[in-house]
Structure 1
Amino acid sequence: MTVTVAAGPTERALTRGVERLLALQHADGWWKGELETNVTIDAEDLFLRHYLGILDERQAAATARWIRSKQRDDGSWATFHGGPADLSTTVEAYLALRLAGDPVDADHMQRAAALVREAGGVESARVFTRMWLALLDLWAWEDVPVLPPEQMLLPDRAPLSIYAFGCWARQTIVALQVVTALRPARAAPFGLDELRAGPAPALVPRDAWDRAFLLLDRGLHRYERRPVRRLRARALRAAERWIVDRQEADGSWGGIQPPWVWSLVALRALGHPLEHPAIVAGLRGLDTFTIEDDLGRRVEACQSPVWDTALAVIALLDAGLSPRHPAVERAARWLVGREVHVRGDWAVRRPTLAPGGFPFEFANDNYPDIDDTAEIVIALRRAGQGDAAIDRGVAWMLGMQSKGGGWAAFDADNTSGLPARLPFCDFGEVTDPPSADVTAHVLEALAHEGLAERPEAKRGLAYLLGEQERDGSWFGRWGANHLYGTGAAVPALAAVGLSGHESVGRAIDWLAAVQNEDGGFGEDLRSYDDAAWRGRGASTASQTAWALLATHAARERGPVTGRAVRWLVETQRPDGGWDEPWYTGTGFPGAFYINYHLYRLIFPISALGRHTRDGGTP
């Protein structure tokens, strides 16, 4: 449907963006942009298929083409566009290319191997990478940390039960308990001597806790040589039952790649044939997460249709479309149909709370997402649909508040520091504590529902104010990084009536200080590891839009806003979108990042729509 074109450059940019977004809507009402990550996901798909004996030459060749396209001049691969070389990513990419038939003496392979050796060799790669090597008989299972399946038998509230971990780590760990106990392998047709640099570096304990967990790992290795048979058999049965029970309707586990692939490995290691219904469904589901085009074959680590659709509805309404617009109505109806009606793992901590809420993916009933639920509550209320689903979602969100007043993504009070101490946990976040960005979204939703005076909202507000950084920004757990956190926190504060609060003023001062000379905003993902990168980076459409959402909420109409709007208008493509190779989404801070391909369109539409709606300069 054509949108009426207005006269000014800002309105014309908004019109082009809206038309582009409308053209991308699926006939069923949803939107889904590609969720791009790094090449380890594609490499591990080949490892899985080799282990299962189903890797074909066409898949390998197409995947190799994609992996080669992401190699940099120094021979490395990174975890995000423009980021530093990453050893483990480079090792996995190299191994995948070897599986695909790339010769060792090819120039691109020699450059990669040299970089790996210089960075400490395969011996210095992360635990996850060495587990994949063990699956391909290129590393000894005895030399990776033990994850005993007996952990399944611990009480739910035990300090190191599986429920002490965040849902993504929990699902992966249960599968790896089976794998590390059974130690399956299918040998790769080559060795990796060219990647070795010497003995593996010894783990150096930082404190008494580290020493205790290293001693625990040594003890578990000794136990692993002669486990108690009946106890081990009981634990494996419990793990197998847990895995099968949590497979989603789309064949995934949690809708994310790590538990998905390792659950398939675990089921095969337990002796199930490829024809087992769970394995068939899992492989069929992976095919729906696979993209193949002229660039090559790649696998999405996750899919975000519910999240994308909620944000798209908000953006279209921000741009001035009526709630009765056919695209908005279709999307709202589809969102209502995604409500979760069953109890998932979150009920371990909230056993009396009624189900509600919404997932991130097409199918993830076990793990509805508090962040998604907050945005969907706003989207549906503004669209005028789904009153009952909204009410249940709000009740569920309120019940998922953690003790400190904040909200996390999937669980409540999942804050133990013990899981991260395990030698296995070197791959990113393993727990799900509250964060400023999720709390801000919940607080904004509660304000839209007229619930800002509720005790839960008051505690959430106190938490959010307490999380502000000394420089005036907020940390972004699920988006990059302080621009994302600030772009969420300021609108939330404005929604509860605090647009003039001194915290908002400090945030706007920070934004003014970090605005790029070109008028845009950008923040490199290295800000998660180095504070000097906060608010620094190449200007991107999504991050510039987050800054504009904050300035709009703060009623800042000066040069900061004007320059940012002009940057968006001047960098828009003729088709209504924006270029954005940089990753602005976060999976695990410091370890795993995401390029949401719709962020570059949805957030600018929201920002330009709010700006023009309230009388900004055309």
Structure 2
Amino acid sequence: MPDLELRDVDRADGTHPAPDPGRTDTLSQDAADGLRETVQRAAEHLLSLQDPHGWWKFDLETNPTMDAEDLLLREYLGIRTVEQTEATAKHIRSRRLDDGSWPTYFGGPGELSTTVECYIALRLAGDPADDEPLRRSAAWIRERGGIPATRVFTRIWLALFGWWRWEDLPVLPPEIMFLPPRAPLSIYSFASWARQTIVPLTIVSALRPRRPAPFDLAELGADEVPDAQSPDTAQSPAARPPAGGRTLRDAVRRLGADRPNTAKVFFRGLDAALHRYHRHPVGPLRRHALRTAERWIIARQEADGCFGGIQPPAVYSIIALRLLGYDLDHPVLAAALRSLDAYTLHREDGSRMVEASQSPIWDTALAVLALADAGIDAPADVDMTPALPTQRVATGAPGQPATVPTALERAADWLLGQEVQHRRGDWAVAHPTVAPGGWAFEFDNDTYPDTDDTAEVVLALHRLNRLRRLRHPAGTRVDAALERSTTWLFALQSRDGGWGAYDSDNASTLVYQIPFADFGALTDPSSADVTAHVVELLCETGRIRDPRTLRGVDWLLRNQEADGSWYGRWGVNYVYGTGSVLPALQAAGLPPTHPAMRAGAQWLLSRQNPDGGWGEDIRSYGDPAWSGRGISTPSQTAWAMLGLLAADHGDTHGNASAHSSASAHGSASAHADALAGAARWLTEQQRPDGGWDEEMFTGTGFPGFFYLNYHGYRLVWPVMALGRYLHSRQHPSD
């Protein structure tokens, strides 16, 4: 493989960083050379995975309920094939624990609803109930309360086949569509992902279909259906609002303290009334509500046929539209089913895994940031991907030959083409006068761009432009996109100063009290990691003194945990949050001596493992003892490095007092040792092909419920962290 050009990362003014002659916390030349080889191997591997069109897309692994529900959907629709079933069952079996249960993440304990759904999927695949592995699964399920103790979503799947009574499920009436957007419990009170799921389920809840069951589930105690919905089946302990940042957690505590029983009693009574209404609905009103929900769903189908870019809303939308009379060959349903096929991964071992979503925009933005931070510049003659016949060709100056775009230019060109400029999604309900200007997570999801992807994409494009990696007219396009995106981001800032992912001020606590609410994070309040990414972008692009940016900085400072860390909403967990916030505060101009910076860095230092890496167990979302603790992983080690580099205490010269200077020198030494240990661990763990292995799930969907293994995280984050480390003041400039 040809060598890439590994360059020092330039400053914003185009100059190279000069060495600090007084620093002692530097790498030796041999160590720097070895680290450079590590970064170069990793960068070459990353570039080799780029699609010819310019994007990166890594596998997104979740839990086997995605696969089980895919089989249940196909059984319900009558389109399940032997080939699909056998391949999917092979994957599901591979995730089963020795005790017969299935976990929601690698290394985790068995989870009841997941185990019930996987059990049924294997029964669909032909595994006999008296097979020893399934007997263990059935016993495990019964010991934990059986089907009555499962989540509402699982019982909905069971009701579709007559394994559970619709009468014993909470009612979700389609008339909810008539509530004004700002009304409590309107669909816009819920987070975008919950909203996309709830609307089709209002149709399912109203029509209550039942397909013939292919077998009974007596061995799971399915015949022990309660006569009436009890408090336990109405809302299991898992239905309590998950921790979602200090703002949400404090609000939930206040709600519980002020009204310990009133809300639940009210909603239990309301559900009973809705059951009575379901038996005798107002005909014209119900029909109008169903048509309104139908139109809402259809209006949000994306170009690839999916709904919302995530599997659960797509599955429930397909069922809802089928109930309304859409044939499977109708263009809407045919496209939706094709989109589910596109979310399917076929493994070399013959197994079939369904992705809950796909992350090409997120993956590409992070890959570009990593390569830019590493100082990698892949010129056209070292192109790592095959050229396309229709590939864009950059025209040289008069008399000069045209050149093929570099890998980074192709990535920038693709990212620029993914901006949502002409569609007003759900975010516009609260911001009707704001022009579009964001990016989504998936290939096609124009209805739901998000602030996190937007911030990282524009930050990546801005850095390429600043580092002069883009030729005209790409730079002009980046500047225009920056203006649109920052206007959009400022509009989506919440009143508390922070940013959620998809909406502003989406922080209702009331929605968690409804009997239906047991499927994870139902709202999208401001979070530390998203706010940090937006603040970092705003500061790097010259908006550091804007009052709105300063409000974001203030939100980050106010939401620091007592131990110095920050909560991670979209990554596991406090290591991710802290590793995201410290670079943002550095970009905002906070010095390493600022109390928040010092506390955050000290917390990271206190959590480093003896092997030099960092890790955090998913159990930290429910048990503080696991905060920042777990086996070392490449991605979490990289996040900690990024945080420590931002809070680096290496600059100890100047007019500091003897005491503060000695303290700073001690901090600098601790930082240097920690960073060197982390770099050493990553170097030792690197595979021969330049990548890293990471089985642990370090991505978060819904804290406490749903976790992700981004297969790109094990590569892009170490490249980013090692690149910054290599080109920081931690080594002598070449």
Q: Which has the larger radius of gyration?
A: 2
Counterpart position of 1:93:
118
Counterpart position of 1:291:
345
Counterpart position of 2:157:
132
1:294 CA drift (Å): 3.0
Counterpart position of 2:370:
315
Task: Spell out the pairing of 1:118-517 with structure 2 (5 A cutoff).
Answer: 118-196=143-221, 198=224, 202-203=230-231, 207-295=261-349, 296-322=351-377, 326-341=406-421, 342-384=423-465, 385=475, 386-500=478-592, 501-517=594-610
1-structure distance, mates of 2:261, 2:418: 46
1:107 CA drift (Å): 1.3
Structure 1: state its 5+ residue gaps: none
Counterpart position of 2:400:
none
Larger displacement relative to structure 2 (135-144 or 93-102): 135-144
1:199 CA drift (Å): 5.3
Q: Is the 8 A contact 2:538 2:544 kept in 1?
A: yes
User: TM-score, normalised to structure 2's length?
Assistant: 0.83
2-structure distance, mates of 1:134, 1:187: 11
Q: Is the 8 A contact 2:493 2:499 kept in 1?
A: yes
Q: Deviations over 1:116-146 (max 9, x none)?
A: 0111111100001000111122111111111
Q: Does 1:527 align with 2:620?
A: yes
Structure 2: state its 5+ residue gaps: 7-29, 236-259, 381-405, 466-474, 650-670
1-structure distance, mates of 2:530, 2:3: 33
1:323 CA drift (Å): 8.7
Larger displacement relative to structure 2 (201-210 or 39-48): 201-210
Counterpart position of 1:612:
726
1:214 CA drift (Å): 1.0
1:31 CA drift (Å): 0.2
Counterpart position of 1:597:
711
Q: Is the 8 A contact 1:435 1:477 kept in 2?
A: yes
Q: Does 1:71 align with 2:163?
A: no
The letter of the residue matching 1:508 is A
The letter of the residue matching 1:372 is D
Counterpart position of 1:2:
2
| Larger RCO, structure (CA 8 Å, separation 6 or more) | 2
Q: Does 1:576 align with 2:655?
A: no
1-structure distance, mates of 2:377, 2:539: 22
Q: Is the 8 A contact 1:172 1:258 kept in 2?
A: yes
Counterpart position of 1:559:
673
The letter of the residue matching 2:373 is D
The letter of the residue matching 2:212 is A
2-structure distance, mates of 1:366, 1:323: 34
2-structure distance, mates of 1:2, 1:110: 56
The letter of the residue matching 1:337 is G
Q: Is the 8 A contact 2:5 2:376 kept in 1?
A: no
The letter of the residue matching 1:298 is M
Counterpart position of 2:629:
536
Q: Is the 8 A contact 1:5 1:12 kept in 2?
A: no
1-structure distance, mates of 2:160, 2:339: 22
Q: Is the 8 A contact 1:552 1:611 kept in 2?
A: yes
Secondary structure at the counterpart of residue 113 of structure 1: helix
Provide closer, same or farther for how the CA distance between residues 218 and 270 of structure 1 changes in structure 2, counting only shifts above 3 A: same
1-structure distance, mates of 2:335, 2:530: 32
1-structure distance, mates of 2:140, 2:581: 41
1:9 CA drift (Å): 2.1
1-structure distance, mates of 2:486, 2:566: 24
Larger displacement relative to structure 2 (180-189 or 485-494): 180-189
Provide closer, same or farther for how the CA distance between residues 2 and 425 of structure 1 changes in structure 2, counting only shifts above 3 A: farther
Q: Deviations over 1:170-211 (max 9, x none)?
A: 011000000010111222310111111745583268521111
Larger displacement relative to structure 2 (216-225 or 603-612): 216-225
Q: Is the 8 A contact 2:119 2:137 kept in 1?
A: yes
Q: Deviations over 1:266-312 (max 9, x none)?
A: 00011111111110000011111101123411110000000000000
Q: What RMSD in Å do the two structures reach over aligned CA positions?
A: 1.5
Aligned sequence identity (%): 57
The letter of the residue matching 2:370 is A
1:588 CA drift (Å): 0.3
2-structure distance, mates of 1:56, 1:530: 43
1:615 CA drift (Å): 4.4
1-structure distance, mates of 2:85, 2:379: 47
Secondary structure at the counterpart of residue 43 of structure 1: helix
Q: Deviations over 1:307-344 (max 9, x none)?
A: 00000000000111249771100000000000001111
The letter of the residue matching 2:3 is V
The letter of the residue matching 2:637 is T
Q: Is the 8 A contact 1:499 1:555 kept in 2?
A: no
Counterpart position of 2:246:
none
Task: Spell out the pairing of 1:542-553 with structure 2 (5 A cutoff).
Answer: 542-553=635-646
Counterpart position of 1:105:
130
Q: Is the 8 A contact 2:164 2:225 kept in 1?
A: no
1-structure distance, mates of 2:562, 2:265: 34
2-structure distance, mates of 1:303, 1:235: 32
Q: Is the 8 A contact 1:50 1:186 kept in 2?
A: no
Q: Is the 8 A contact 2:177 2:187 kept in 1?
A: yes
Q: Is the 8 A contact 1:440 1:464 kept in 2?
A: yes
Q: Is the 8 A contact 1:47 1:136 kept in 2?
A: no
The letter of the residue matching 1:101 is G
Secondary structure at the counterpart of residue 558 of structure 1: helix
2-structure distance, mates of 1:596, 1:291: 14
Q: Is the 8 A contact 1:138 1:187 kept in 2?
A: no
User: TM-score, normalised to structure 1's length?
Assistant: 0.98
Secondary structure at the counterpart of residue 568 of structure 1: helix
1-structure distance, mates of 2:192, 2:263: 24
Counterpart position of 1:41:
66
Counterpart position of 2:470:
none
Larger displacement relative to structure 2 (37-46 or 128-137): 128-137
Counterpart position of 2:13:
none
Q: Is the 8 A contact 2:5 2:377 kept in 1?
A: no
2-structure distance, mates of 1:323, 1:170: 43
Q: Is the 8 A contact 2:4 2:377 kept in 1?
A: no
Count of aligned pairs between the two proteins: 618
Q: Is the 8 A contact 2:672 2:730 kept in 1?
A: no
Larger displacement relative to structure 2 (417-426 or 259-268): 417-426
1:417 CA drift (Å): 1.0
Secondary structure at the counterpart of residue 88 of structure 1: helix
1-structure distance, mates of 2:445, 2:373: 28
Secondary structure at the counterpart of residue 3 of structure 1: coil
2-structure distance, mates of 1:359, 1:323: 27
1-structure distance, mates of 2:729, 2:429: 49
2-structure distance, mates of 1:359, 1:115: 40
Q: Is the 8 A contact 1:359 1:372 kept in 2?
A: yes
1-structure distance, mates of 2:207, 2:437: 38
